[in-house]
Structure 1
């Protein structure tokens, strides 16, 4: 067997084993709960902006973007802007790699790839930091509720003409809101690309864990995902991603469009 293929085969077998290893999963879940209580995810930046994600999920997004090569990433929830900056930087790297593979000079001004971010409240200091970032030209932001029909219409218009689209949902985490986001934005995801629904972990945490938030066990992104999938067979949960990570905010949240 080719040594590269052998490595991939052995790794895939290990990842599949993690998904069936109850002890390993329980240990990972205990660490996740303890780390969430200590606000561990607030400790990391991407190119100077707080990203508020586990390092594992950051790596997972890099892998998915490289594998699917989108020309548009739509994100609900902006916060400090770290995720927007990360997506923009990865799209810039795709452009650079495309140029190298084609044997032409890299001209960022000719790129169409971009990131759309949506948030109900883009705080002035965060907006200023994002707009002054070197990758700002790749980012388009909309302020308003991600499920407001006017915002949805504007995002759909801004998405026209893109052939490879990824969506990331990370704003209000109640069942009703995420389900409405899925109905609005998941149809924009193109075949082979992903809709990533963050913070599905709420369903797996102790009831009342997020006592200062309106979401809880039974009312959260994971319950919305499973409700949405009942009538949308064009998507499936790619559990190989969460099995690989073991610690993630998005169990059952990596949805691949078939």
Structure 2
């Protein structure tokens, strides 16, 4: 066995061993409970813009982007724009690597890969910072509810120009809203790519962990994912990702599209 294959096999063995370690899993949930109570995920930025995300999930998303090599990343939820900037930077690196590999010139003014962000309220100060960022020409934003018919129509029209699509859902975290987003956008995901549903961790945290929010245990992204998967066997939960991460805001939320059409 060559060293690269051996390394990958050892990694798989390590990850498989994590699955049965309930003490470690319980510690991870306890850590996340404390992290949310102390607004830990508000402490980070990507290339200068705040990103409300767990750094470990950020690494996982980087791995997915490199594996899938999407032409378009669709994101619901913009906030300060850090996630859009992160996605844009990863796509820029893909374009650069592709140009180097193919010995072609790269025109930064005409990016091949793009990011589409949707938010019901893109605050003026955040829009200004996003639009003046060096990666802004890779980013297109739509203001409006991600589940409004007009917005869904715009997103689908935009997506027609791209072959490999990755979707990240991170806006309103109630069951009904996330389920509507899944029904609206998940089928845009190309085979082999992912629909990443963030904050499914809400279901695993103590009740009333978010007293000022409409979501809670029993009404959150994880419950929406569960209902969605009941009728969409095109997707499977990539459990290996969360087994590897152990600390993640998206347990059961890394949905990989395995085939083009669901079985009827």
d(CA) in 2 for partners of 1:84 and 1:28? 27
Contact residue 111 and residue 137 of structure 2 kept, 8 A: no
Structure 1 distance, partners of 2:76, 2:19, is: 29
Q: Distance in 2 between matches of 1:187 and 1:145?
A: 19
Distance 1:112 1:105 in 2: 12
Q: Distance in 1 between matches of 2:25 and 2:186?
A: 29
Tell me the SS of whatever aligns to 1:117: strand
User: Which residue in the other structure is 2:51 paired with?
Assistant: 51
Task: Answer whether contact 2:109 2:137 (CA < 8 A) is retained.
Answer: no
Q: TM-score, normalised by structure 1?
A: 0.99
Tell me the residue number matched to 2:213. 213
| Number of the residue aligned with 1:222 | 222
1:79 aligns with 2:79: yes
SS at the partner of 1:256? strand
1:124 aligns with 2:94: no
Deviation digits for residues 28-79 of structure 1 (CA, Å, limit 9, x no counterpart): 1111111111111111000000001111011011000001000000000000
What do you get for the CA RMSD once the two structures are aligned? 0.7
Can you list the C-alpha shifts for 1:155-185, whole angstroms capped at 9, x where unaligned?
1111112110000000000000000000000
Q: Could you say what secondary structure the match of 2:118 adopts?
A: strand
**Secondary structure of 1:166's partner?**
strand
How high is the TM-score relative to the length of structure 2?
Answer: 0.97
Any idea what SS the aligned residue of 1:222 has? helix
Is there any run of 5+ residues in structure 2 with no aligned partner, and where?
A: 259-264
Q: Secondary structure at the match of 2:228?
A: helix
Equivalent-residue separation in structure 1 for 2:134 and 2:216 (angstroms): 38
Partner of 1:151: 151
The 1-side partners of 2:105 and 2:152 are apart by 36
CA contact (8 A) 1:95 1:108 kept: no
Distance 1:19 1:46 in 2: 31
SS of match in other structure, 1:26: helix
Specify the alignment match of 2:97 in structure 1: 97
Residue-by-residue CA offset, 1:187-231 (whole Å, 9 max, x unaligned) = 100000000000000000111111100000000000000000000
Alignment partners' CA distance in 2, 1:85 and 1:163: 21
**Which residue number corresponds to residue 262 of structure 2?**
none
Aligned residues of 1:81 and 1:126 also touching (Cα < 8 A)? yes
Matched residue SS, 2:196: strand
2-structure distance, mates of 1:12, 1:29: 23
Cα shift at 1:19: 1.9
Could you tell me how far 1:21 is from its partner in structure 2? 1.2
Question: Which residue does the alignment assign to 2:261?
Answer: none
